[in-house]
Amino acid sequence: MSVVVRRARSEDAAAVARFALALFAQHRGYDAARFADLGSPEGAARYYMSRANAHDAAVFVAESEGEVVGFAYLEYEQIDYANLLENAVWLHDLFVEEGSRGSAVGKLLMQATVDFAKETGAGKIVLTVAAKNTLAQDFFRKSGFRETMVEMTLNIT
């Protein structure tokens, strides 16, 4: 399987939105009280494509045999007071369709993330991962990430 990772283009909007919605549904399945239902394909396409060309962000897609099989969305933060960060890239989303998992697509998207971080001069990459998503946690640990924070939620309604 030959995979190319590149910046997302407007013609990738539907695929990116489809993957984002799958990721949203996955999170809702883990904890519907924590994760909002943002299930609009149009909204997801509009949001991710608006970030694809931003100077401080990137949306990468992994393409195999002419088909988009995964994506990553990341943003550079020079200073982030709320998260006590400076000079960091946030990896917000990384998703690989099920049929392409285990074929280095995730590793290639991660390498594109690392390359983006180096290009921006970032000193670190940070991310959050759902507590129940043990597959992703294992992948990120194998990619060199370590745990630094624990998110907690209190539902009040």
- The pLDDT value recorded for residue 53 is 85
89 pLDDT band, cuts 50/70/90, is: very high
pLDDT band per the 50, 70, 90 thresholds, residue 157? confident
The Cβ-side half-sphere exposure at 113, using a 13 Å CA radius, reads 27
- Top CATH class of 3-142 equals alpha beta
Instruction: Give the Cα separation of 76 and 124 in Å (integer).
Output: 10
pLDDT given at position 23: 96
- Determine what percent of the chain is predicted with pLDDT higher than 70: 99
Give the model's confidence band at 143: pLDDT under 50 very low, under 70 low, under 90 confident, else very high.
Answer: very high
Phi, psi (rounded to 5 degrees) for 110: -65, -40
pLDDT of residue 102: 87
Mean pLDDT, residues 79-95: 97
Read off the pLDDT of residues 10-69 as tens digits, 9 standing for 90 and up: 999 999 999 999 999 999 999 999 999 987 999 999 999 999 989 999 999 999 999 999
Chain-centre distance for alpha carbon 87: 18
| Range 109-114 average pLDDT | 98
Q: Residue 39: what pLDDT?
A: 79
Residue positions counted in the chain? 157
Res 47: pLDDT: 97
